[in-house]
């Protein structure tokens, strides 16, 4: 098990780590952010023996916290009260309202309605979960989205989102221990986010995300200590497994 170092709280940030939040139910492993986020939220991890359909049903079950819905698991999710909304992710900085027509290529979702479950897929990129008590959001953040401002775009796009009240959890992604990039990419980020070891550049993408959130007045951040590439038994990793790698499912639902 390799953890990259947790950071000291800086300024107004409340930074924890989520290494103790890993759980397993019926053989499906996931990290549960619900207590911190105060809404159903988490990431379904590497579960090779389960179909994608069973993992979606698991997510619906996690988001069905009304008792009357518990015995309805296994239905066709499109026809039930809860609707899963996904994106065609393409490393853009585009944010869309999940209640409206979904653009083909986007990497961030938000919704204020309680009957929609937001889902994004990652394998080394970072899922970022947001909740201000009115609106929930979910972002797919890699280096391209970071550099083109996907995090700031979220706060511009979501009218009335209250960063000072919001809670944000950063899910597992590739750590600076493993995120080797070309010099051309490394030099696009400020030097505080890059390390040089044994002739190669490595990026601290999570550090960049934390700072972007802080610039947008986010006070409460749950930071993740796992590296997806170091822990390939637990996580899918593009860097470890190549382009045909499966992806993990992050979800958040306003509920209520
Ligand atoms: Zn690593």
State pLDDT tens for residues 117-168.
999 999 999 999 999 999 999 999 999 999 999 999 999 999 999 999 999 9
Query: Does the residue 243 lie in any domain?
Result: yes
Residue 23, pLDDT score: 87
Confidence tier at 225 by pLDDT (50, 70, 90): confident
In 3D space, the residue among 228, 203, 215, 209 whose CA is nearest the CA of residue 146 turns out to be: 209
Determine the distance separating the centroid of ligand 1 and the alpha carbon of 129, expressed in angstroms: 22
Domain encompassing residue 157: 17-253
Determine the distance separating the centroid of ligand 1 and the alpha carbon of 126, expressed in angstroms: 13
Query: Does the residue 106 lie in any domain?
Result: yes
Query: Does the residue 4 lie in any domain?
Result: no
Residue 11 pLDDT more than 80? no
44-48: average pLDDT: 95
In 3D space, the residue among 156, 157, 125, 155 whose CA is nearest the CA of residue 141 turns out to be: 125
Determine the distance separating the centroid of ligand 1 and the alpha carbon of 124, expressed in angstroms: 10
Query: Does the residue 103 lie in any domain?
Result: yes
Confidence tier at 20 by pLDDT (50, 70, 90): low
Contacts of residue 194, defined as CB under 8 A and 6 or more positions apart, other chains included, come to: 186, 201, 202, 203, 204
Structure tokens at 213: 């959130």
Query: pTM of the predicted model, to two decimals?
Result: 0.88
Residue 168, pLDDT score: 95
List helix spans (H) across the chain.
34-37, 52-63, 67-70, 143-147, 150-157, 183-186, 205-215, 238-241
Which residue in this structure is represented by tokens 């070309």? 182
43-61: average pLDDT: 93
Residue 16 pLDDT more than 70? no
Determine the distance separating the centroid of ligand 1 and the alpha carbon of 163, expressed in angstroms: 30
Domain with residue 157: its CATH number is 3.60.140.10
Task: Domain count for the chain, please give it.
Answer: 1
Mean predicted lDDT score pLDDT of the chain: 86
Out of 79-83, 88-92, 118-122, 247-251, which region has the weakest mean confidence (pLDDT)? 79-83
Confidence tier at 18 by pLDDT (50, 70, 90): low
Structure tokens at 9: 């709280």
91-117: average pLDDT: 89
Determine the distance separating the centroid of ligand 1 and the alpha carbon of 1, expressed in angstroms: 10
């Amino acid at each position: 098990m390799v953890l990259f170092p947790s950071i000291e709280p800086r300024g107004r940030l409340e930074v924890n780590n989520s290494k103790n939040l890993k759980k397993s139910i019926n053989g499906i492993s996931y990290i549960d952010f619900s207590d911190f986020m105060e809404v159903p939220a988490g990431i379904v991890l590497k579960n090779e023996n389960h179909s994608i359909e069973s993992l979606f049903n698991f997510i619906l079950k996690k988001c069905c916290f009304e008792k009357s819905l518990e015995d309805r698991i296994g239905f066709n999710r499109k026809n039930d009260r809860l609707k899963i909304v996904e994106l065609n992710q393409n490393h853009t900085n585009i944010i869309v309202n999940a209640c409206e027509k979904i653009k083909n290529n986007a990497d961030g979702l938000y919704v204020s309605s309680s009957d929609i479950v937001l889902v994004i897929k990652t394998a080394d990129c970072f899922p970022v979960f947001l909740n201000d008590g009115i609106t929930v959001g979910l972002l797919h953040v890699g280096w391209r989205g970071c550099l083109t401002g996907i995090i700031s775009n979220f706060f511009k796009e979501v009218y009335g989102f209250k960063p000072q009240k919001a809670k944000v959890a950063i899910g597992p992604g590739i750590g600076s221990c493993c995120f080797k990039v070309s010099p051309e990419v490394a030099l696009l980020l400020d030097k505080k986010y890059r390390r040089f070891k044994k002739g190669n550049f490595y990026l601290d993408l999570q550090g960049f995300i934390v700072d972007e959130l802080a610039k947008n007045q986010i006070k409460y951040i749950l930071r993740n200590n796992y590296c997806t590439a170091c822990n390939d038994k637990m996580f899918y990793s593009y860097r470890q497994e190549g382009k045909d790698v499966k992806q993990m499912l992050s979800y958040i639902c306003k509920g209520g």
